[in-house]
Amino acid sequence: MIRPESTRRGGTRRMLERSLTLLRRFLVASAVILVGGAVLLGWTLTRALQSEALASERASLARYADSVVRPAVVRGNRVVLTRSGDAALLRTLRAQPDVVTVKVWRPDGTLAWTNRDRSRIGRRFPLDDELGDAMRENHAVADIVGTGGSEASEDAVERHLGFSHLFQVYAPIENAAGTHPIGAYEIYANPKAVDEIIGSRQTMIWLAVGVIFLTLYAALTLLVRSASRTLRRQNEALRERSERLLDSYRRLEEGALEAVESLNAAVDAKDPYTAGHSQRVQRIALAVGAELRLAPAELDALRFAGLFHDIGKLRVPDAILTKPEALTAEEYELIKRHPDDGAAIVGRLGRLKDAVPLIRHHHERWDGRGYPAALAAEEIPLGAAVVGLADAWDAMTSDRPYSRARPIEEAAGEIRRGRGTQFAPAVVDAFFAALRRDPGAFAADEPLAAEASVS
């Protein structure tokens, strides 16, 4: 039977409506799926971005605090209370406006140092969970926190600085060997820079996700390809930027090292009798270090420590350095400060971090009667003991304002007599082995071929 025209048109219309309805449902379902996927993608990328930005800022602030604050608050392997003598440190922190507050904690909850409300120094407070975790687990933690919620008395100052929230970092202070924490930094920083980075990149992420959504809605396969290329380009751009930043950091570090070398040359220039002293101490120390079979990294630290061991004498008046008579007690106390002063100078440069304890402790004695920390025996870093012996040898075999150079046999006898009292026994043994092997390396001026038999 032939259907009426109206019936055929009605059926076609219904089929078209069903197809359009299915298409609309498909488009709506696709839109819901894509919107859900876009929201999930944006949220995931935003969280990852925030986590990366916080981790980067946390590492940067922890390194900054360790390089700037550590020389003033750490002595040997312990955190000391510091209430005075840190004016330079306070000026350095004020020059970094993003750093609001720095606190240094001992493991028992004693506040050892802070740049704000210094009346809190020496008081003991309950440890926050994050602070306790940082010290127990030896890892840094960070977060953006509000300033209105904490009622702890040790946070009272920070609550009244005018910030609605702050970037907070807890970072452990490791011992000299880097094996366990001896305290922790608590750092509060202005979060504006982090907020701007996160905010601008969040905007970029959401705009990119919107473009992806619209493109996927039109052609899913084409969009996936386009998104993949975009992500690769962004990743490559970030990689190139990181390489440029690293290259800039290397150049900056090299320039700083050259500046330190110039300062060290100024020390030698202050006293014509000690010209070349630093280079000779470096040469002798490296020869002894090689005899001790030190690792390459330890020899590298020894190389810098030998060269810069006396850089702290920049703060000693020339009249004292070149005085031909015996020093007064007050003058000797000034001289005794140069290891700490030298460590503070080179400690600001990350490249010389491993040389800092060697410079600070090269005047310690095996019997514990040295300075500045009165370390004894194995407490003294091996590299510091090497530099100390090399320094003593060059002092004995070189002309000084207060004494003439000693003969090699006499100087060698002094070293032997100091074994186990002034000098580390193993270092003395290595010294004589190196002297027998290459006597020319131990000469103040001319090669020591005639004294090659000294043992």
pLDDT digits (tens, 9 = 90+) for 89-111: 888 888 887 888 888 989 888 98
Q: Could you identify the residue written with the tokens 């005794």?
A: 336
Q: Which three-class secondary structure state does DSSP give residue 357?
A: helix
Nearest to 384 by CA among 404, 402, 360, 405: 360
Count Cβ neighbours within 10 Å for each residue of 363-373 and write b for 16 or more, e otherwise: bbbbeeebbbb
Task: Indicate the range of 214-218, 219-223, 297-301 predicted with least confidence.
Answer: 219-223
Q: Which pLDDT band holds residue 265 (cuts at 50, 70, 90)? A: low
d(CA 192, CA 12): 63
Residue appearing with tokens 């040295």:
370
pLDDT at 349: 78
- The residue that leads in pLDDT, 366 or 439, is 366
pLDDT digits (tens, 9 = 90+) for 143-200: 877 766 555 566 677 777 777 788 888 888 888 887 888 888 888 888 777 777 777 7
Question: Residue 363: which pLDDT band, with cuts at 50, 70 and 90?
Answer: very high
pLDDT of residue 148: 61
Taking the domains of the chain in order of start, what are their residue ranges? Answer: 53-195, 255-451
**CATH of the structural domain 53-195, one choice from 3.30.420.10, 3.40.640.10, 3.30.540.10, 3.30.450.20:** 3.30.450.20
**Triad 75, 78, 79: Cα angle to 5°:** 85
**Fold match between domain 53-195 and domain 255-451:** no
Tell whether domain 255-451 is in CATH 1.10.3210.10.
yes
Sheet holding 99-105, edge to edge: 111-114, 99-105, 181-189, 165-174, 141-146
pLDDT at 113 over 70: yes
Which pLDDT tens digit goes with each residue over 306-350? Answer: 888 888 887 877 777 777 777 788 888 888 888 998 888 888 777
List pLDDT tens digits, range 420-446.
999 999 999 999 999 888 887 776 654
Q: Is the pLDDT of residue 114 over 90?
A: no
Statement: residue 387 has pLDDT above 90: yes
Contact indicator for 306, 332 with CB cutoff of 8 Å: no
The pLDDT of residue 455 is above 60:
no
SS3 102: strand
> What average pLDDT does range 108-128 have in this prediction?
86
pLDDT confidence bin for 271, thresholds 50/70/90: low
